[in-house]
Chain A
């Protein structure tokens, strides 16, 4: 693997791991306060799945870097501005409708990204993607079920869903923000198309769902800063998820 590919692969793994880590941690905040007990269990379980995927991706990144820092060090020992998750998951979880819309947008986008990596020429990644895809399939079904429920019920559910779509529209496609060096990944047969193409694929896939519920399709192209500019929502979340680690960074748990 040449240096260009290695650097780009590093950026790809970090962006995916940070996406999964941040949305997983953010959604885990519903534990104990979800709208009903069964949903509490379901959302907590989805959040755990995402943290599991993040861990596996951080592990893979740690192997690639081989600099003595493990998955935990990558996950927790960075300043907020060093995280590379997209703006979509940077938003706070908001109300239930916003969480549902964010999950729906993220899970459908993540599916397109995973599909584009399924035949990656980098075997450890292809193998991991195969496992993650099987779990993400359920995530999409769950997100879609709730999206349709809120969108299809007039009154408060519909109103809150519309608010959430409006709130997230600008950042909806940011999973596909340009990745530094992504051309090298395409050339090396790791990623099967540039992010801009994946963004189009994703819009094609979700368009019918938005149309069916007369919702505006969030077509805004991802801002180039979408994985760098973080909000106060995230800085607060970072304070939460690093709080125990920072008590004693070298402790053995």
Chain B
């Protein structure tokens, strides 16, 4: 009874009487990204963490859980902002497609295509 886990922290904004949804993120092993696992219904943060543990952690399938009140998540799903209709491929991290330009340059200089690097 001497622990200081998040379970012991009071949840100030909850009256403990109504259930709400909590999103659970889990990490399978140290260093992995946190991935969404699912959700639980609970009246406050303390029980939400308990239930997250029961549903997403009791079979040793997780080394860390994050439990977030769904109402605290800021959502963006506007297609005008996320799926713009015009071609914006130049904004992608890969940039322009260079394959054909490179092949033409090799042709001109007579060089062979380098072999794929071994990993």
Which residues of A come within 8 Å of B, CB atoms? 36-39, 41-42, 45, 108, 111, 137-138, 140-142, 144-145, 149, 153, 205
* Cβ 8 A contact of B16, one of A37, A140, A144, A153: A153
* Cβ 8 A contact of A38, one of B8, B16, B54: B54
Question: In the bound complex, how far is the Cα of B8 from the Cα of A226, in angstroms?
Answer: 34
**Shortest beta-carbon distance, A47 to chain B, in Å?**
12
**Shortest beta-carbon distance, B84 to chain A, in Å?**
40
Contact A41 B50 (CB under 8 A): no
B7 interfacial by beta-carbon distance below 8 Å: yes
Contact A205 B50 (CB under 8 A): no
Contact A138 B53 (CB under 8 A): yes
Contact A142 B41 (CB under 8 A): no
Question: In the bound complex, how far is the Cα of B8 from the Cα of A39, in angstroms?
Answer: 18
Would you list which residues of chain B between 11 and 52 have a CB under 8 Å from chain A? 16-17, 19, 40-43, 46-47, 50-51
B102 interfacial by beta-carbon distance below 8 Å: no
Across-interface contacts of A141 in B (CB, < 8 A)? 3, 5, 7-8, 50
* Cβ 8 A contact of A205, one of B1, B3, B53: B1
* Cβ 8 A contact of B50, one of A37, A142, A153: A142
B88 interfacial by beta-carbon distance below 8 Å: no
Known A38-B42, A45-B58, A145-B7: A111·B50 in contact at CB below 8 Å = no
Contact B7 A36 (CB under 8 A): no
Across-interface contacts of B55 in A (CB, < 8 A)? 38, 41
Q: Which residue of A lies closest to B19 (CB)?
A: A36
Contact A145 B41 (CB under 8 A): no
Known A37-B41, A141-B7, A145-B46: A42·B1 in contact at CB below 8 Å = no
**Shortest beta-carbon distance, A175 to chain B, in Å?**
16
Q: Which residue of B lies closest to A205 (CB)?
A: B1
Contact A145 B1 (CB under 8 A): no
Question: In the bound complex, how far is the Cα of B41 from the Cα of A93, in angstroms?
Answer: 25
